[in-house]
Amino acid sequence: METSRPRMERMATYRIDELARTAGTTVRNVRAFQERGVLPPPQRHGRTGVYDDSHLARIRLVVQLQERGYTFAVIAELISAWERGHDLGELLGLEKVLTDPWTDEIPGYVTLVELGELFLPGETAPPPERVAELLRRAEELGFVEPAGDRYRVPSPRLLNVGAELVAAGIPLEAVFDIAARLAGDCREIARRFVRLTVEHADLDDVAGYHDRTDLPDLAQLITRLRPLAQSAVHGLLARGMQAEVMTAFGERIEDLALREEPDAG
């Protein structure tokens, strides 16, 4: 009696329109995926391109990555690294750490009238050219972003700081100037923290990056940077503010006190 052997299941094959329909996309997208290098070309049977289940799986992966916000360039890099032997989950985990926002702030929205009330108090009809210039600087510094008939506020905390300074009597132009300088200072602080991480994790060796096997450790290291950097800046800023306030105002307060003392004679 002949023993039956397990039959190898053959992959399904598709023409391009069948592949697009099965994947829930369009023929145009399938061709775009091929042009962008994220989908291998089909096998050729004469003049007909034939795809299989591996192409279907790849399309579904690409679509999922697109839905997560990845560009074609990043998707191509991820797939290339995956094909070289990296774990895709580890790659995506590192990518998520790199691209996640470093703040838990929820963006807000304001109208032009509300911005005027916050930053131009008492000016019932400011000149249009002045409003345009102030909006330009606010957008340049990232305080607001145009969003239809409103403005998106990426960081309501920063906007509130600016509004409080204006309410304290500091001219808006001066607030913008200090904001620009502080942004530069903070970028330098961030650069130093990142440089520390790059040197510690041997990330200067770009040529050997593709062979790394410690991507989860690297993602964890970057994640730990967030609270450490914030705590360090908070502590050092508190010490610096105390010293600077004492230097700037201590002597002036002492002079005022001496002036108000009654004459001994």
Render each residue's pLDDT in the chain as its tens digit; 265 residues: 444 444 444 568 899 999 999 888 999 999 999 999 889 899 988 888 999 888 888 888 888 888 877 888 888 887 777 776 666 666 666 666 655 667 778 889 999 889 988 888 877 778 888 888 889 999 999 899 999 889 999 999 999 999 999 999 999 999 999 999 999 999 898 888 878 777 776 654 444 445 556 666 767 777 777 788 888 888 988 998 888 888 877 777 767 666 665 555 4
Instruction: Tell me what pLDDT residue 70 has.
Output: 80
pTM: 0.55
**CA-based nearest residue to 106, from 157, 69, 70, 144:** 157
Two structure tokens written together for 193: 């923290």
Q: Do 42 and 49 form a contact (C-beta atoms < 8 A)?
A: yes
Instruction: Tell me what pLDDT residue 62 has.
Output: 87
| β 108-110/48-52 pair status | unpaired
Beta strands of the chain (E only): which ranges? 13-14, 43-45, 48-52, 108-110, 145-147, 150-153
**CA-based nearest residue to 146, from 121, 111, 194:** 111
Instruction: Tell me what pLDDT residue 201 has.
Output: 63
Instruction: Tell me what pLDDT residue 95 has.
Output: 60
Two structure tokens written together for 24: 């829930």
State the Cα–Cα distance between residues 130 and 248, nearest whole angstrom.
33
Instruction: Tell me what pLDDT residue 17 has.
Output: 93
**Options 2.40.50.100, 1.20.140.10, 1.10.1660.10, 2.170.150.20; which CATH number does 13-85 get?**
1.10.1660.10
C-alpha dihedral over 105, 107, 112, 116, to 10 degrees?
A: 0
Q: Which residues pair with 49 in a beta bridge?
A: 44
Instruction: Tell me what pLDDT residue 99 has.
Output: 57
Instruction: Tell me what pLDDT residue 177 has.
Output: 94
Q: Do 166 and 118 form a contact (C-beta atoms < 8 A)?
A: yes
Q: Do 207 and 194 form a contact (C-beta atoms < 8 A)?
A: no
Burial grade of 261 (CB within 10 A; 0-12, 13-18, 19 or more): exposed
Domain ranges of the chain: 13-85, 108-258
Instruction: Tell me what pLDDT residue 50 has.
Output: 92
